Each structure stands twice: as C-alpha cells, then as structure tokens.
Chains A and B, each alone.
Chain A
C-alpha cells in the first residue's frame, strides 16, 4: 500500500523572510506543516491562505495554553483583533509548531486546522482555527503575525496526506 503521508517541501529560512507554498494541487486530503523555530525572537505565526488578507472577516481561532503555572483560553475573531485572527501559534526560541489542515481542497466546507505549539521555556499550546472560505487552498503564506519574515534558521516542512 502506498505511503499516505508524502513529504512535499522542506525549506530553511536564511535571511528573515516569509515563506509561501504556491500552486498546491488538490492531490491530497489533508496537509501538515512542521515548523522548528530558529533565532531568538519570539513572535506570532501568521498563516494566510490563497493571499486572503481580510483577517478581520475571514479568520478565527481558539487557543488553549499552559505555561507551567496555569492554563488559559482565549479566542480571536471578527474585527476585534484582526492581527491575531490568523495566528497559528507562537514562534518562540526553542519552539516547535505542527499544523494540520483538514480537507484543504474541499469546496463544501470552510477550512479548519489544528495546531500544537510548544516552547520548552515558555508554554505548550493547542489551537483550532478556521478560514471562512469554501475555496480550495492553493497557496499558504507563513510569516510572523505582523506580516514580517520568519527568523533565520527556521525550518519548515510541508506534507500531504492522501485519502480516497
């Protein structure tokens, strides 16, 4: 039987830069992104689908975090905090981020994703997010949550997961 998880791309950020995976075909059912943070600057991670930057209207998320002392939860959606709506998890020193995007090419549902983020010196986090669009995802841009570049040394791997 064929391997169901296929490595699609790997990249390491040299000089601080955003990363865009473009022309993603509908070959797979789900996508997985694995990020190991480089550098020493802590930021949020902005994820943008199909160049849709209307974060206030089209992106929302819920975040649960434990920092060693307490657990907390919060949401972002609507115009209240548009810069954070598309944040897929913090990018911290010694941090890691694994994002699963379900049914990314379906046209009968909004796109939802799960994210697990950990930074040994700071926190561990689980996040669920939604992009309110029925368009198939054909591109993913990763940046910090201000739209700036990812830290030098950050490694990003993209996988496709097949399904009948």
Chain B
C-alpha cells in the first residue's frame, strides 16, 4: 500500500538532475514589468545539440476575455506559408477547425482574462526535426483555457511550409499582448 510518499525517499532514489540527459532546458522567458506583444527564442550554439524542441508555457493574454489563440511563427516569416488544424472542446461543444495557406498559424489556446484573474493557460508544444533542411516543419500541441466564463481544451498541429532550419520562434497572442507573469520555457531533445 503506497500511502504517503515523502520527498526524502525520492531524493534517496537518486533524483539528482545533475547528469546530462536527452531532455534539457535551453532557456526561459518570463514576462515582467508590463505586457509584451510577443516572446522570441533565437537560436544559439546549444540548439545544434538537439533534434526536437519543446515549449512549455503558463501564459495569459491581456485581451478582453475568453478563449483566444496563440500564434507561433518561425524565422520571422509572417507570410501565408503555414497550415494548421485544431480539435477542440469548448464548454459542451467539440469541433475541428483549420487554416490553409495561412499567415496566422494558431498553435494553442490562451486565456484572455488578463493576469489579474490568475487563470494562466497550460500549454505544451512540440516542434519536430526543427533543424532539418529536407523536411517542412511540423508542430503539435496540447493546451487549455480555463477562463471565468468559457473553458476549452485543444489539440493542434501546424505546418510551416519551409525546409529552412528553424532559427527563431516567435510566440504571440492573436488578439492581445502576453501579460505579466506569463512564462515560456524552451527545451531541447537530443536525437
């Protein structure tokens, strides 16, 4: 019978975190002071160590409330070179949405209630084979928005129709700024 498992037992089991592994933190961006239009991760020498990337966020938007979308663009490309699909549950309705030859690749739900409401959206994004120069770039995510009125969860996938290696990632809200307290962490997975 497992019962209570205290922290000391975990530590004794060797949960150190000091050894190199296959899943590593690259950087974290925390919105402080005032809201921002976007958060950017730019490549550095460390990115060469990895095959895939993961972004983990607890984020909220300043927009006027409700469920909004987060947009993820690569390498400064703002043109209609993206496609995306979503499978979503919003309150009591399940639906699927998509965009082709889109300049606004929606990668996740983000709550637009503002930081003061404390309802930061949980978001996890995977970007596969980001450095390949022979494949277009695909991403997928799971995210939720647990606002004061509407609640939603969504699985999304996006395509960036380019074989260029990804060297920068820009995350932004579709309707508002990323509010204070929002946190974005980028991880690399070794191949």
Partner-B contacts on A (CB < 8 A): 1-9, 11-15, 17-25, 29-30, 60-66, 71-75, 77, 100-103, 106, 108-110, 112-114, 116, 126-130, 132, 134, 156, 158, 160-164
Contact = CB atoms under 8 A, between A and B. Distances in A.
29 contacts: A2-B19, A8-B15, A11-B5, A13-B1, A17-B1, A20-B3, A20-B5, A21-B5, A22-B4, A23-B6, A29-B56, A29-B183, A61-B151, A62-B146, A72-B89, A74-B92, A75-B151, A103-B120, A109-B120, A109-B181, A110-B120, A114-B124, A114-B144, A126-B155, A129-B144, A130-B119, A161-B56, A162-B25, A163-B25
From DSSP, what is the main secondary structure of chain A's interface residues? strand
Interface string B1-34: 1111111111001011111111111011000000
B28 to A, nearest CB: 5
Given A14-B1, A110-B120, A126 B142 contact: yes
Contacts of B91: 62, 73-75
Given A2-B17, A2-B19, A128-B151, A25 B7 contact: yes
Contact of B17 (A23, A106, A160): A160
Contacts, number: 199
* Chain B interface main SS type: strand
Task: Give chain B's interface residue range (CB within 8 Å of chain A).
Answer: 35 or more
Contact of A19 (B2, B57, B87, B122): B2
Contact of A1 (B24, B28, B151): B24
A109 B5 contact: no
